Structure 1
Amino acid sequence: MKAYVFPGQGAQFSGMGKDLYESSEKAKALFNKANEILGFDITKVMFEGSAEDLQQTNVTQPAIFLHSVILAMVQDNIHPDMVAGHSLGEFSALVVSGALSFEDGLKLVAQRADAMQKACEINPSTMAAVLRLEDEKVEEICKQISDELGEVLVAANYNCPGQLVISGSEKAIDEAVERMKNAGAKRALKLPVGGAFHSPLMEPAREQLASAIENTNFSKPSCPIYQNATASASTEVDEIKKNLIAQLTAPVKWTQSVQKMVTDGASSFTECGPGKVLQGLVNKIEPEVEVAGI
């Protein structure tokens, strides 16, 4: 069975999508439609902007979504048996599986970016990557620090065995980086992000996005989508919406999602979008499956 996976924030690069725009009339039309929907020329930023320009949340999230979805839409032979997306990538997966229209997916992504930016301003916070430390140990240290300081600190991204991202207040993250190293982590380093994504500190964004999701038309997808919040297959619209709303404050269970997809029959994973991050993660989670990019 063929699984298609879609990347999240961090996969962006200067010039992304330009080759698609120049080589396909269908892609060009979709990019131009995106400029109209967003109300600004995102293609100019994607094709000509600096790395710094692309790091702005209101640009990054729609840019990665557009690159992933348009790349999929110009292919002749995409027939996934199952799909999944890492964080933001879940919206790309929903469009490609037919659960959301291109237009509605883009509007939701833009609203998500706006909601997350506002939440970051309300609660100054950050994230850190922890390498080569058991998940259980990372979770234990997070709970200890959270209890001691009375601050939010949680496991946010289960990316692959030995790579976990934590999320929380600046104070808690600073303390965690030192303790993770002392506990034997190969590396523990703060990430250049604007907030504590996939943590309770994103509650204001969850509330804002929940309203937008509830007012958007979803359809039954053409194949199961393995959602971040549950790491299990969803095909029912109400369940998909509920999990999508939960995603902002819940951890990204990527390791568990890939494992469940393989258990359910996935023998190949194709990454659709900028970069090769997910190919590397899938390789580390399930080394025996085929991985490729488009």
Structure 2
Amino acid sequence: MDFTAVLFPGQGSLTADARDHARDVVPDLVQRASELVGEDPFDRPHDSTRFAQPAIFVASMAGWRERQDDLSDVGAMAGHSLGELSALAAAGALRLDDALKLVVLRGRLMADAAEENPGGGMVALLGATPERAAALAAAHGLELANDNAPGQVVLSGRRVAIDVVTKAARAEGLKAMALDLAGAFHSRDMAAAELPFLLALEDVPMSRPHVPVVSGYAARPFAEVPFELARALVSPVRWRETMAMLVELGARRFVDVGPGEVLARLVKRNVRIEQGDVVLV
């Protein structure tokens, strides 16, 4: 049976109006995030992952809160990177406050790991197949971080190597764009964050979600939530395969609750008309 899939974005999706919207819709959550972070994370989300991730989580939950009553046929959810915690909270697998605490911890651990490995960054390659991107990465010591859509992949690693790959990719006619992020996320640079995050996850009560939540690490519904969320820190986001799994499960309508429209654009790149009468709500 056809259903609607709800999508939750990750880092890099924050919009200028996200704070005002969150304050209108989930003021208590904004306040709680400020308490846990030590300041309002919306004040300087671009300064650190410590602030960006709680801000995006709160903004995403505001988007979900605003739209959930209008969505009567939700059959699955998925989140891109950080968005997995938003999806698990929305699906009832995590209590909201527990999810927020995990988001704050995740942001801090990833920021610490990036600071322990200075000089890391990420680059998006447009027009490259996963195989070509993997070859470029292997040749220069980079790692595949995101397989977002056909012709859209992201690599992580040393900025020096990223500069070399950027020139090589452009020489082949590919588009290469350095991302404004503070570290080489979804790579070995995040190894120091994996174990403490896993231990924290294992200490949090979890429930069976109301609907399946597809893991971006495994590209199938979550089976081992703590392990998969922790391992995802050092593994690629398999978003192209995640979208294919949602379609296989029966998703024909997709809602990007935001902030922003990053995932809405990726729906258009991933879901082809021959897969059915697909609607972006």
What TM-score, normalized to structure 2?
A: 0.91
Corresponding residue to 1:83 among 45, 56, 77:
77
Q: 1:189 aligns with which of 177, 182, 187?
A: 177
Partner in structure 2 of residue 30 of structure 1? 29
Which residues in structure 2 correspond to 1:247-258 (within 5 Å)? 247-258=232-243
Give the AA of the match of 2:61: V
Shift, 1:219, TM fit: 1.2
CA contact (8 A) 2:110 2:190 kept: yes
Question: Separation in 2 of the partners of 1:92 and 1:54?
Answer: 17
Secondary structure at 2:135 match in 1: helix
Residue in 2 aligned with 1:94? 88
2:255 aligned partner:
270
| 1:158–1:165 Cα contact (<8 Å) kept | yes
* Aligned-pair CA distance for 1:284: 0.9
Equivalent residue, structure 2, for 1:290: 279
Shift of 1:276: 0.7
What is the alpha-carbon distance in structure 2 between the residues aligned to residue 102 and residue 31 of structure 1?
12
Q: In the aligned structure 2, how far is the partner of 1:173 from the partner of 1:242?
A: 29
Shift of 1:78: 4.1
Residue of structure 2 in register with 1:165 after alignment: 154
Contact 1:37 1:107 (C-alpha < 8 Å) held by counterparts: yes
Q: CA deviation at 1:20?
A: 4.5
What is the match of residue 150 of structure 1?
none
Give the match's secondary structure for 1:2. Answer: strand
The Cα shift of 1:54 comes to 2.1
Q: Please report how far the alpha carbon of residue 268 of structure 1 lies from its aligned counterpart in structure 2 after TM superposition.
A: 0.5
Counterpart of 1:219 in structure 2 is: 207
- Which secondary structure does the structure 2 equivalent of 1:156 belong to? strand
Structure 1 unaligned spans of 5+:
147-152
Q: Work out the CA distance in 1 between the residues paired with 2:87 and 2:116.
A: 30
Matched residue count = 271
Helix, strand or coil at the partner of 2:251: coil
Give the letter aligned to residue 132 of structure 1. G
- Return the match for 1:72 from 64, 67, 70: 64
C-alpha contact (below 8 Å) 1:72/1:78 kept by paired residues: no
Residue of structure 1 equivalent to 2:49: 57
Give the aligned partner of residue 10 of structure 2. 8
Whether the 8 Å contact between 1:83 and 1:226 is mirrored in structure 2 is: yes
Task: Look up the SS of the partner of 2:196 in the other structure.
Answer: helix
Distance in 2 between residues matched to 1:84 and 1:228, nearest whole Å: 8
Partner residue in 2 for 1:136: 131
* Aligned-partner Cα distance in 2 for 1:28–1:197: 30
Over aligned residue pairs, what C-alpha RMSD do you find?
1.6
How far apart are 1:278 and its partner, in Å? 0.5
Structure 1 pair 189/34, CA: closer, same or farther in 2 (3 Å)? closer
Structure 2 distance, partners of 1:228, 1:73, is 23
- Looking at structure 2, the residues matched to 19 and 184 of structure 1 have their Cα atoms a distance apart, in angstroms, of 40
Unaligned runs of 5+ residues in structure 2 are none
Q: Secondary structure at the match of 2:69?
A: coil
Q: Would the aligned equivalents of 2:30 and 2:40 in 1 still touch at CA under 8 Å?
A: no
Offset of 1:61 from its aligned partner? 0.5
CA shift digits 1:130-161 (9 cap, x unpaired): 11121111101211222xxxxxx111111111
CA contact (8 A) 1:199 1:251 kept: yes
After TM superposition, give the deviation of residue 181 of structure 1 in Å.
2.0
Identity over aligned pairs, percent: 35
Amino acid of the structure 2 residue aligned with 1:8: G
Letter in 2 for 1:129: A
